[in-house]
Amino acid sequence: MSLPRRLLTAVRPALQQASSVPRKACRQAQHTFPSAPQRSNSASTKLHNHAKRSAQLAVSEPEAEPVAESTNPALSFPCLDKLESRSASLSSRSSGPEPSYTTGKHLNFHSREPILLDWGGILPEFNIAYETWGSLNKDRSNAVLLHTGLSASSHAHSTDINPQPGWWENFIGPGKPLDTAKYFVICTNVIGGCFGSTGPSSIDPANGERYATRFPILTMEDMVRAQFRLLDALNIDKLYASVGSSMGGMLSLASGTLFPERVGRLVSISAAARSHPYSIAMRHTQRQVLMMDPHWNRGFYYDGVPPHSGMKLAREIATVTYRSGPEWEQRFGRRRADPSRPPALCPDFLIETYLDHAGEKWCLSYDPNSLLYVSKAMDLFDLGQDTRSRMNKVRQGNASKLQAYRDGRAPAADPQSDLCSLTLPEVPYEEKEQPAEEGSANIDAVDVAPADLVAGLRPLANTPALVLGVASDILFPAWQQKEIANTLKRTGNKNVTHIELGEEKSLFGHDTFLLDLKNVGGAVQSFLG
């Protein structure tokens, strides 16, 4: 008798006995399992540790032949053990599991005036966390508004009340690109963020509870309008310059289009005038892995374990887009962390350990809901005239909501009040063959600026602009900055400086704006000076 048949003969009596158990008893047995939260919070739960096959096939027949162990030992998964251990430790914290998101002390602007958001949401009041460097001159004409990337705080440079180095530490100071001997530099944390400005983790004054996913959908323009409320409070009528990189470069463009008379010049680095499919796709995958973490709980996790596993994976995906393949080839190659040991399914190659570390150090330092809302605002960004006209109509239609709130009245019934409840299409997307002339694979088309984008950027026709891109950037490829520059020139703007750093100058990809003081900082300093 072959081995498989001997096994079947051995276990058949046990299987027959199990099949004779009444269904009612089976249902009762099912109810003895702990609830889902109990299982997820148990430090001893190891879903990846499988019971031995010999135990699964054990029978009471004394004459049954013993079942052999597996040919190979089970792999260990220390990376999963670490995630489970973190969940257990967060669950047992007496002070509450949700970490406090902060990068240190900062200034705060509190607006008691409600703000209407583009998609109809209302913030009854809001905070803007900000920091400043340098001094405002007598006529208040030397202010530079520095916009942040997606996950950055207002702490771009060290201050007296927060001496920790900031995210643009080497770019700000006397004689630096943002010269504090000349300029009064202001940096804010955007609304929707979690470093002091009002966002999903903030308390809703209407009910005293955290907004969570009751926080309204944001746009980049909403963030800019809130920033200009701060400028109003500081009595700054016109900026000397608006400066930003990545998401900040998008905010800088939005500032100039919304308030052209209040922006003297603008700098946009490694950004786009409209989000393109690749960057939308990458942010979508980050949101999906975060939202699929069971701890996310549809955004209401603040009294429980935060979705740290989803945040870690989201950051790892993001990190892949922040650097370039050639740089990683130089830094890591195909080297493994420990070539003397057998390969593992947990981080094994040096590049894997780098991504793992990037996710580890970030997964509890930024609010997951803020990542969802701010990244979605980036996806929605489009300065084309069609989108701007459509959003202006939406704002006009929602203006009555703001007036009703100010008057203490309930807003009029909206027949489309369920617009924020999306319905997925019944028929999934299917690939369709497109005529060659309709394809968009030819990025040389940016040499001819789209008419819709030219119309949308026309408010910037008289604003001097520096547009800088990096050839090794895969998140915001250099052709997107070329599109901005060509579009600005098509508006009639005669003062557009376009710089592209080739791979011979920088292999740092999208993160070049954080690292390259010589080329990025030098270009900014020359343009502003």
As annotated, the active-site residues are 246, 473, 510
Range in 50-64, 364-378, 476-490 with the lowest mean pLDDT = 50-64
pLDDT of residue 63: 66
How confident is the model at residue 68, as a pLDDT?
77
pLDDT of residue 466: 98
Query: Which DSSP string do the residues of 223-256 spell out, in sequence order?
Result: HHHHHHHHHHHTT--SBSEEEEETHHHHHHHHHH
Q: How confident is the prediction for the chain on average, in pLDDT?
A: 86
Helix%, strand%, coil% for the chain, nearest 5:
40, 10, 45
What is the structure's pLDDT at 414? 61
Residue 495 pLDDT class (50, 70, 90 cuts): very high
- Cβ-contact 468, 270 below 8 angstroms: yes
In this structure, is the dihedral angle defined by the CA atoms of residues 132, 154, 245 and 260, taken in order, positive or negative?
negative
pTM strictly above 0.85: no
Residue 382 to residue 456: CA distance in whole angstroms? 9
Which residues, in sequence order, are CB contacts of 452 under 8 Å at separation 6+?
384, 385, 386
Considering only residues 169 and 440, tell me which one the structure prediction assigns the higher pLDDT. 169
Residues of the chain with CATH 3.40.50.1820: 107-279+384-411+446-528
Separation between Cα atoms, residue 206 and residue 329, nearest integer Å:
53
**CA 105 to each of CA 178, 191, 210, 470: distance values in angstroms, whole numbers, following the listed order:** 22, 17, 22, 33
Q: How many CA atoms lie within 13 A of 421 on its CB side?
A: 3
**Where are the CATH 1.10.1740.110 domain residues in the chain?**
285-376
Gap between the Cα atoms of 312 and 78, Å rounded:
15
Residues 248-263 have pLDDT tens digits of 999 999 999 999 999 9
**The predicted structure's pLDDT at residue 412:** 66
> Cα(272)–Cα(251) distance, rounded to whole angstroms?
10
CB 348 within 8 Å of CB 332: no
pLDDT value, residue 54: 42
How far is residue 186's CA from residue 131's CA, in Å, rounded to a whole number? 6
As to burial, measured by CB atoms within 10 angstroms (0-12 exposed, 13-18 middle, 19+ buried), residue 211 is buried
- pLDDT value at 67 more than 90: no
Cβ atoms of residues 216 and 120 within 8 Å: yes
Run of H or E including 261: none
Distance of CA 400 to the CA centre of its chain: 32
Say how far apart CA 3 and CA 229 lie, in whole Å.
78
pLDDT band, very low/low/confident/very high, at 314 (cuts 50, 70, 90): very high
213 or 87, which is more confident: 213
Q: What is the mean pLDDT of residues 123-128?
A: 97
Query: Could you tell me which residue, 117 or 424, shows the higher pLDDT?
Result: 117
pLDDT at residue 8 tops 90 = no
Burial classification of residue 465, based on how many CB atoms lie within 10 Å of its CB (0-12 exposed, 13-18 middle, 19 or more buried): buried
Q: Name, in order, each residue with C-beta under 8 angstroms of 352's C-beta and a sequence gap of 6 or more.
A: 337
At residue 159 the predicted structure's pLDDT band, cuts being 50, 70 and 90, is very high
pLDDT at 28: 39
Q: Which of 137-146, 306-315, 414-423 has the lowest mean pLDDT?
A: 414-423
β-sheet bridge partners, residue 469 = 500
**pLDDT value at residue 90:** 85
pLDDT digits (tens, 9 = 90+) for 73-85: 889 999 999 999 9
pLDDT of residue 468: 98
When computed from its CA atoms, the radius of gyration of the chain, rounded to whole angstroms, is 28
12-54 confidence digits (pLDDT tens): 444 444 444 443 433 333 333 333 334 344 433 343 444 444 4
Find how far residue 268's CA is from the centre of its chain.
Answer: 19
For range 48-75, the mean pLDDT: 62
pLDDT tens sequence across 335-358: 999 999 999 999 999 999 999 999
For 273, which DSSP code?
S
65 pLDDT band, cuts 50/70/90, is: confident
Write the CB contacts of 36 (distance below 8 Å, at least 6 apart in sequence). 294
- Give residue 432's pLDDT: 74
Say which CATH topology domain 285-376 has: Rna Polymerase Sigma Factor; Chain: A (1.10.1740)
Mean pLDDT, range 84-90, rounded to an integer: 88
**pLDDT for the residue 491:** 98
For the residues 214-229, what does the mean pLDDT come to? 98
Q: How many CB atoms lie within 10 A of CB 484?
A: 29
- pLDDT at res. 98: 54
For residue 220, pLDDT beyond 80: yes
Q: Which residues pair with 263 in a beta bridge?
A: 239
* Strands 126-133, 115-116: pairing kind: unpaired
- The CATH H-level (homologous superfamily) assignment of domain 107-279+384-411+446-528 is Alpha/Beta hydrolase fold, catalytic domain (3.40.50.1820)
pLDDT-above-70 percentage for the chain: 81
| Cβ-based burial of 387 (10 A; exposed 0-12, middle 13-18, buried ≥19) | middle
